[in-house]
Structure 1
């Protein structure tokens, strides 16, 4: 909901005027006797943006009597995972692999973790389905973690500021119609305040509505959103009285 508009009209002396409001040079007094008329308004806007990226962790583990056996066992499953990612359009720059070889009581253990960044959530679901179907219990697919990319945050902030300026211009235009004035060009735009807040209260509200009755069903991964708000001050010049009567 938009906050009430705050509109200020100011008569500003010419840049060459002295403390009395007149030009310091008497010879210029007649040429610059009129004053610059301005209209200053504030505008606010909010833009809400859901997460555009997701990080998925896939883990493969094995224990064998020798290093070669455990490496061979994990490598086959790892190659299948990487192949499935390539087939679903995931680039190498979005995949990282970590290996941890350790000694067990009966031999050697090898843990491999594949971290994948997705921009297409539907594609991520398809990849999860393929891995769980083909590798079954030999692979552990974690819960995706959703987040906002720097590009997404930057675009959201720009949209918020631009919308606030548009709202300020709309208010100024409406004010000029009421005052019988004609709105001129913007003279100064100042961003006064910006805020960002994460929206994460949906899950808590659902839990309260549940009332704790019956078994708790498995919940889908929560898709976070961020709201960016912006407040700007815009100063417009006034071109003079409009011919339209009030």
Structure 2
């Protein structure tokens, strides 16, 4: 797919947070030219696109009077859940363990003796991280997880594949550089100067901002299937550029 079709208003999505300063460089750093003048500006830009990858965390839970019984129950429930996810189209590589824990439920120190359990109670959790490469199928995968015995849907993150993210970041960097040059031209003109060349360029920051969805168990209880509508994902870039001016 052409990456340009993934961008939602590239020009409109670019935002700029710019600052500039006029300085005379130290002679030791400029080869002895104490008259060298520079302007340093920062340019930022953001690009947005629909997500093409989803990461969902689901888990099974169990309680029992021994750690071994909880372990065995988690093993049975986990196998049932995993099989349901396989039948929904996920490969084993897309289903990874996120968290596994078994712990004894501690009795609050001031609980009346009459309310203290006769036997210890153990609680266990086995969570799985699901890497879904078809965003449109996220709801179906969640439905399959619930039907397969998942006790909770802990996280739904919409993000980008590596290729899409890299393409958007490249576009954001180009836009950030253009924004920096525009700001430098304005500043140079204000001090009756002009841009001669670039002295230094640094990629100063930026990153990916995924979107998240919350699984509302009560709202979904009456629905025939899970319907999720993710927001766009934002990729940002920041550059710092130093220009030599006349």
TM-score when scaled to structure 1? 0.46
Whichever of the two has the greater Rg, that structure is 1
TM-score when scaled to structure 2? 0.46
